[in-house]
Amino acid sequence: MKIIIAGAGSVGRYMAEQLSKFGHDIQLIDTNAKEVARVHPEASTVTGLVGDACEISTLAKAGAADADVIAAVTGDDEDNLVVSLLAKQEFAVPRVVARVNNPNNEWMFNDMWGVDVSVSTPHLLTALVEEAVAVGSLVKLLSLEHGKAGLNEVTLAPGSPAVGNTIANLKLSRESVVVALIRDGHVVAPTPDTVLHENDEVLLLSTGDADEDLQRALIGPR
């Protein structure tokens, strides 16, 4: 897979180095040559490009026309939006991921700016803290498809109507699906016959329309 990463700060470099381990072809762009040069030498599939990713010519030089994914992860939200818009409108990149630095700007990171998936670090950290302390509550971990869907987590409380039932018996709507369980520190791949236990962490992909259904099936009456 060909991936272009705009921004060679700590986030961009880490992404490039990790994705390189899976053999992806990575182009890492930054205006700062020193930051680009700091990529670990073992990341052999990473190619650095010194330039401004907000310019069409730079993205073209990086091969945006053939890219599968562009990730705009600079420390500047305005730059990330410009990169996303160019990636989608000028190069029709199939998947555009953008980093949100200021949570007040999160509302702008949508399909109008070419963003397919936005990642807000403050929002994610808040969700993770909530997930760590919340039992019997629906915690939204990640927003997908411009907020139309998301990755949610529920830790099953002792009184949850789901405890002792199979996933099939939950009769969840078609707007949600159980994608994984975390039980006693281990990941469990669920099947329709998987029986849910107290304190299971249930990870689900769902649309916003499914919230009431998840409340009914996994948490119980309010």
Q: Do residues 155 and 214 touch, judged by C-beta distance below 8 A?
A: no
Specify if 56 maps to a domain: yes
The percent of residues in the chain predicted with pLDDT above 70, rounded, is 92
Q: Do residues 46 and 22 touch, judged by C-beta distance below 8 A?
A: no
Question: What global pTM score does this model have?
Answer: 0.66
pLDDT tier, 198 (very low <50, low <70, confident <90, very high otherwise): very high
**pLDDT, tens digit (0-9, with 9 covering 90-100), for 173-192:** 888 899 999 999 888 999 99
User: What's the pLDDT at 120?
Assistant: 80
Does the pLDDT at position 123 exceed 70?
A: no
Cα torsion through 124, 127, 176, 70, rounded to 10: 0
The whole domain housing 212 covers 134-219
- The CA-based angle 128-11-61, given to 5 degrees, is 140
User: What's the pLDDT at 142?
Assistant: 77
What mean pLDDT is reported for the chain? 89
Task: Verify that 8 and 112 share a domain, yes or no.
Answer: yes
Task: Verify that 21 and 60 share a domain, yes or no.
Answer: yes
**pLDDT, tens digit (0-9, with 9 covering 90-100), for 126-174:** 655 555 555 677 787 777 776 778 888 888 988 899 999 999 999 888 8
Task: Verify that 113 and 41 share a domain, yes or no.
Answer: yes
Tell me what the mean pLDDT of segment 89-115 comes to: 93
| CA torsion through residues 154, 160, 164, 165, sign | negative
Does the pLDDT at position 89 exceed 60?
A: yes
pLDDT tier, 106 (very low <50, low <70, confident <90, very high otherwise): confident
Rounded distance, CA 93 to CA 136, Å? 40
User: What's the pLDDT at 135?
Assistant: 64
Task: Verify that 157 and 99 share a domain, yes or no.
Answer: no
Tell me what the mean pLDDT of segment 181-205 comes to: 92
User: What's the pLDDT at 118?
Assistant: 87
Rounded distance, CA 202 to CA 183, Å? 9
Task: Verify that 7 and 41 share a domain, yes or no.
Answer: yes
Specify if 164 maps to a domain: yes
Task: Verify that 72 and 173 share a domain, yes or no.
Answer: no
Instruction: Please enumerate in sequence order all residues whose Cβ is within 8 A of that of 62, keeping only pairs 6 or more positions apart, or say none.
Output: 4, 27, 29, 49, 51, 53
Task: Verify that 142 and 113 share a domain, yes or no.
Answer: no
Specify if 65 maps to a domain: yes
pLDDT tier, 25 (very low <50, low <70, confident <90, very high otherwise): very high
